[in-house]
Amino acid sequence: MTNKVSTNKKKTRDIYLDAVKGFLILCIVLEHNHLLTAQFDWIRPFSDAFAAGCFLILTFTWPLKQEALSKFVDKNFSYWWPFVIFVSLTTILNWFIYRPYAVTETITHYIQAIILSSPEQIKASSGFMYFWFLPCLCFLYLIRRLLDNLGYIALLLGLVAWLLIGELDSDLLVKTPFSLHVIAFILIIGLCYQKVHKKLMAPSPIIRGATITLFITGCFLSYSVGWKLFLAGGIIPSFKEPLLLLYYSVFMLVAIPGIYNFFYCLPKFIAQGSAFIGKHSLKVYIFHPLIYIGITQVVPLVSNPFLSFFWTITFSLLISHIMHKMLFLERFIFPNTISSIMLRRKN
């Protein structure tokens, strides 16, 4: 989901990794479609078990560049800019359409959402919780940088956080600034994935078979396990639920290579189709709930669950494609660096 305008045309993309992103974003769109989740009770346990977490874990696929802190923040905190834009727009729309709070209270929620960015305040301001991902992503990069040179100490800190974060009440966790509780749960899984990524992507029939089998097993188990993980909402298992904790962690650990290797075994055009969606995953993530709400509630044009899913994806990709053609707009809303926004304003 962390895709922006590329400034390096020589860099080649791995279509199978883009296909993984495409699969993950489709799972997230499924989970946000209330018409489908009301009809099919397997969707939320399935999607929430791995999809959002895997997008964060994907960032561990690449090592952090050794660069000055100012340059690092300039690049990795640029995700905060689309967060500010869309929280601002949806807060205005939320107030005009639904009027959930008085003006002064709305302004208070908005300021708290922008500055502290807890899932609860983001939802209170904008009406949507899903924007939590962007500030969480920024702080995940920052925490990774802070821990990058600590070696086994980083693993120990991650392990402790992974074991204990679920002990805190979900009502408290949902108020956590920048969704740091999500990072606390994800960190050790990401650090472990960083160590095994290349091995699990090796062109070995045994590894491919094992990762695909484990992923499919995790998918089927999600239904019997039930909806026991909701990262942003603070529903997280702890060491007191060892099997549950182990299940979700292993599922996230094998999901990326499992999906990757599964696509590798399919006809290439299927991977290419998913990769096309994956290349636009960040924009699809941003736009899809707005489109879904728009076509099913604000202007109720669609009531069929499957059609609503189809048109949500289609319109999200269409907007993404149009924006990609309008480079000035794309670079303004989804900049590669914070400084590029400031320079553009001066010019």
Q: Express each pLDDT in 11-53 by its tens digit.
A: 578 999 999 999 999 999 999 999 999 999 999 999 999 999 9
> Is the distance from CB of 127 to CB of 292 less than 8 angstroms?
no
pLDDT for the residue numbered 7: 45
Residue 247, both tokens: 């299940």
Q: How far is CA 185 from the centre of its chain?
A: 14
* Confidence label for 9 from pLDDT (cuts 50, 70 and 90): very low
Per the confidence metrics, is the pTM higher than 0.85?
Answer: yes
Helical spans, DSSP H, in 226-304: 242-265, 268-279, 281-293
| CA separation for the pair 10, 284 (Å, rounded) | 25
pLDDT tens readout for residues 43-101: 999 999 999 999 999 999 988 988 999 999 999 999 999 999 999 999 999 998 888 88
pLDDT for the residue numbered 97: 84
- 343/12: higher pLDDT: 12
Those residues with Cβ within 8 angstroms of residue 336's Cβ, 6 or more apart along the chain or in another chain? 4, 5, 7, 75, 78
Q: How far is CA 172 from the centre of its chain?
A: 21
